[in-house]
Amino acid sequence: MATNPMQKKARNSMLVGIIIGLVIGCVGIAFFFMQATTYKKQIEEAASNTRRAYVLRSDIKSGTNITMSDLMEVSALKDVIPTDYVTIDDITDNTIAKLDLTKGLVLSKSMIHESDAKITADLREQQYNMLVLPQYLDIDDYIDIRLTLSNGQDYIVVSKKRIKQLSEDTIWIDMYEQETLVMTNAIVEAYKTPGSKLYATRYVEPGNQADAVPTYVPSATVINLMNSDPNIAQEARQALAARYANLMPRREQDINGQLNAVSPEDAKSNLESNLEQEITKSKEARKEYLEDLNAGL
């Protein structure tokens, strides 16, 4: 049977159209896969060039603890963040700032270190209102507490304490048992001796400055008490015994000399007068606190 030339032409045209469609489809599919591969490669390159870092949500003072709540995770190009950027594994309960840090800063390992301070069973918050305080003292500052005797001798009683709370003439700091005993001894001896002064000195860059070594030596009675105090760990007692064994001659020559220069009657009178002032100030501060508390209800 003869084929109609028009039908043959139409069939050939259809076949050509199908072939062209298949070719275009294959090209499109190939182009799609090429684009997908390129996009995947771009994503992989972008991922390899970015890092998950942490920035500060607020300003942090030198020596202050840094917690995860102070940080915000961000994605940043590796070329614009410090090479020693901090990861989640670098932040612990004892992580502190080595220097003053500002909000929005990408945190790096060179800006932090681990504090040696430990939370032990004998750690207590103590309140003191008999110290001469620096004019510029703020919460989270670190201080040494020092004793100056009337002959000019000056001693470090306790070192590197963070100011937890602060009022006009009162500070709140955490103290270990042995520090509390030593501090109490220093207060009593300062009260007994006219011309003596207990005062605080502020650390300039506490995150980078090591703790000062205490140089004040308490009385033999207090040392004996510390040696038998069950609240002081054995390791701490041994360290204290070694320290005071070397410093005891200074105690006998300088501090005892100043105390012995005051008559027992005057020493007793001075102590009672100063203790009375301390108690009065504490009662007034407590009363003011309660009044403010009730006013806010």
Q: What's the whole-number mean pLDDT along residues 111-131?
A: 86
Judge whether 225 and 237 are in contact, CB under 8 Å. no
Q: Give 244 or 147, the one with higher predicted confidence.
A: 147
pLDDT in tens, 187-205: 999 999 888 999 999 999 9
Nearest-angstrom CA–CA distance, 207 and 142: 10
Query: For residue 120, what pLDDT is reported?
Result: 82
Distance of alpha carbon 98 from the chain centroid: 9
For the stretch 27-77, pLDDT in tens is 767 667 676 666 666 555 555 677 788 889 999 888 888 888 898 888 877
C-alpha distance from residue 110 to each of 99, 101, 107, 291 (Å): 10, 12, 8, 46
Q: What is the pLDDT of residue 107?
A: 87
75-88 pLDDT, tens digit each: 877 777 788 888 88
Q: Which of 21-25, 162-166, 280-284, 290-294 has the lowest mean pLDDT?
A: 21-25
CA distances from residue 40 to 35, 143, 187 in whole angstroms, order as listed: 8, 56, 71
Summarised one tens digit per residue, pLDDT across range 241-269 is: 888 887 787 787 788 888 888 888 888 88
Greater pLDDT, 142 or 277: 142
Residue 103 has pLDDT above 70, yes or no: yes
Map out the domains of the chain with their CATH numbers: 49-114 (3.90.1210.10), 124-295 (no CATH)
Q: Are strands 142-148 and 154-162 parallel, antiparallel or unpaired?
A: antiparallel
Average pLDDT over the chain reads: 83
Per-residue pLDDT of 205-241, as tens digits, reads 998 899 999 999 998 888 888 888 888 877 788 888 8
